[in-house]
A and B are shown apart, each in its own frame.
Chain A
């Protein structure tokens, strides 16, 4: 069965079978990544543009590697949003690039819904690599892949996302994906960083990290965006670290093993202590490798979808 949608804009509304298919496909690509020759000819002849209006070296490199390993032709377009805003519109930029006959666009953009907008102005297949504070579906997919790889399942696990929930595309995509896959999901952070109506998405809310640790099998620890400080969401980094950082002492109070994820890049010793980040229960480096496999799976499934119809 092909994927239900020809784009990957988010995980909201993506059916369970599709997520399953992406994760299973990623497993085969993950095996390829362990081989001496890591390239397959699957997307030969396809041109993919990585359209990055926000600098995100990690995500772009991960996509680019995935694209090249599938033998696609890759074009990178990076631009600072402030300069783009003054000049050409997104619509014009995208149409100009499309005029060069491209098949797929992977886009990172600061505006919520930018990827959806793109589907309305060009015909290429669109993969959302992060639209503002909305969704970042491939990140959530690689998180789920990593959890499944480590713990053998997703369904029934207690997974808590810790940090700035209000401004996180990673949190939202994880909530949608994990709920669909049958996990119990919670969020934890200062009340000012948790949307008032998040409970309606079917998640538990913790305002205390210790309570969250007591409950969780997995903690997905978000990066604290230092630049948010100017709107006084919390008093200081010092206070945040003291009450919300995931540290060994806190984790040691729990009897069960707690698996740690972080979408990177880490603010060491702010949201996560170095000791925890480097421990055997941290999946942070696996996440990076799995990211390539999961993105290969998404690119492959979308890139070959029209043929399988």
Chain B
């Protein structure tokens, strides 16, 4: 199978490549990159004028829900959502049922993924740090790595016990795998539904203070420094967290962090509608937090944009705010939200956007970088930063539609992905 992508604007931050060229892909391998490549009648030809061709995007924080919660999402629907959203790879979080705390579960997930869309989307499981995600005993990390786990997290819950966290950081650092913490001090957060602040005061709503997140990150940074380990803070949401990570990086610690598109796109005023799709953990924060997150994205403190894609069924969210589960889907709006809120508002460049969706998460997970060079397997995300479109949740490939962005007009749209020999174009 031959594909010819005419007038491709390649941006590859790893090699610094930034050129408008044609790309010829034969049987999944980039055969030729050059100007005016001739059209061959056997090749499928696309004119990519105005579109960016980037190394394939990875979402390092996705809840695929399988095994255990297939009514919310399956590996199949999750992979389709990822492909639709421009991701050639996802990391799936271990809070499934059973959780990913045994090698057999890692293998099961990888196997199932291979059958979805002919293996178009690569799945890299994140395994549990502790058995049953209970925060007590370490999961068999070496076995999990051998089976294919790329990192460790008890996401959904923090590792609360400092000694357990110490052992996890030590053990994983010898394996060159990051510990990914869901940073939340549970006693401070207990019973909270939204951010503690003006909005929670107006609504009389039980709230989660920003310090619940920051205290945990502060502690973890101390541990990371002392044990010279690798630490990644998931879904940071507050100005204080950005500052803590910034300080950690200044000290040259091996620390990194991610932010979700919803945390830089929406503030806690959105909760005033009582829309259960504005309920997530960590909660939507304030305008000031958003400004700090954007500054962190701009200056490189925040390495990664990851969705925390958390599908929940329609009925689960059609309840009182108090009873609704935390979380929203994100795979199919992430790239467009980043383009709209960050690139078009001059917070980051397109090249930085690519770093945060592709280069940095792969570096943190110690995955080989993806290059756009002749002779390598094509792993590409193609998007058009100038197309405007309106989000329609009914068109999502995800099994769940719990998004607060329905009806939003966004600027920037994914055109398609190319991975494992398959081109997945727009419909």
Please give the residue numbers on chain A whose beta carbons come within 8 Å of chain B beta carbons, in ascending order: 12, 85, 89-91, 109-114, 116-117, 121, 132-135, 167-169, 172, 195-198, 200-201
> Which size class do B's interface residues fall under?
10 to 19
Closest-CB distance, A167 to chain B (whole angstroms): 8
Closest-CB distance, A85 to chain B (whole angstroms): 7
Closest-CB distance, A89 to chain B (whole angstroms): 6
Q: Which of B203-229 contact A (CB under 8 A)?
A: 203-206
Question: Quick check: B196 and A196 within 8 Å, CB to CB?
Answer: yes
Number of A-B residue pairs having CB atoms within 8 Å of each other in the complex: 66
Question: Taking CB as reference atom, which chain A residue is nearest B206?
Answer: A133
- Per the bound structure, the CA–CA distance linking A113 and B202 in Å amounts to 12
Q: Which residues of A contact B367 (CB under 8 A)?
A: none
Q: Which residues of B contact A200 (CB under 8 A)?
A: 198, 201
Question: Quick check: A90 and B205 within 8 Å, CB to CB?
Answer: no
Q: Which residues of A contact B197 (CB under 8 A)?
A: 196-197
Q: Which residues of A contact B203 (CB under 8 A)?
A: 112-113, 134
Closest-CB distance, B326 to chain A (whole angstroms): 15
Closest-CB distance, A215 to chain B (whole angstroms): 22
Q: Which residues of A contact B315 (CB under 8 A)?
A: 89
Question: Quick check: B198 and A172 within 8 Å, CB to CB?
Answer: no
Question: Quick check: B206 and A85 within 8 Å, CB to CB?
Answer: no
Known: A132-B204, A133-B204. A111 touches B323 (CB 8 A): yes
Question: Quick check: A195 and B205 within 8 Å, CB to CB?
Answer: no
Question: Quick check: A90 and B320 within 8 Å, CB to CB?
Answer: yes
Q: Which residues of A contact B323 (CB under 8 A)?
A: 85, 111
Question: Quick check: B321 and A112 within 8 Å, CB to CB?
Answer: yes
Question: Quick check: A113 and B320 within 8 Å, CB to CB?
Answer: yes
B322 at the interface (CB under 8 A from A): yes
Known: A133-B206, A196-B196. A113 touches B321 (CB 8 A): yes
Question: Quick check: B321 and A117 within 8 Å, CB to CB?
Answer: yes
Question: Quick check: A111 and B320 within 8 Å, CB to CB?
Answer: yes
A-B residue pairs in contact (CB < 8 Å), sample of 27? A89-B315, A111-B320, A111-B323, A112-B193, A112-B203, A112-B204, A112-B322, A113-B274, A113-B320, A114-B322, A116-B274, A117-B319, A117-B320, A132-B322, A133-B204, A133-B206, A134-B203, A134-B204, A135-B204, A167-B204, A172-B202, A172-B204, A195-B200, A197-B197, A197-B198, A198-B201, A201-B202
B349 at the interface (CB under 8 A from A): no
Q: Which residues of A contact B205 (CB under 8 A)?
A: 112-113, 132-134
- Per the bound structure, the CA–CA distance linking A169 and B206 in Å amounts to 12
Cβ 8 A contact of A111, one of B198, B200, B318, B322: B322
Q: Which residues of B contact A133 (CB under 8 A)?
A: 204-206
Question: Quick check: A117 and B274 within 8 Å, CB to CB?
Answer: yes
Question: Taking CB as reference atom, which chain A residue is nearest B191?
Answer: A231
Closest-CB distance, A146 to chain B (whole angstroms): 22
Q: Which residues of B contact A109 (CB under 8 A)?
A: 320
Residue-wise, chain B 309-323 has the 8 Å CB interface mask toward A (1 for contact) of 000000100111111
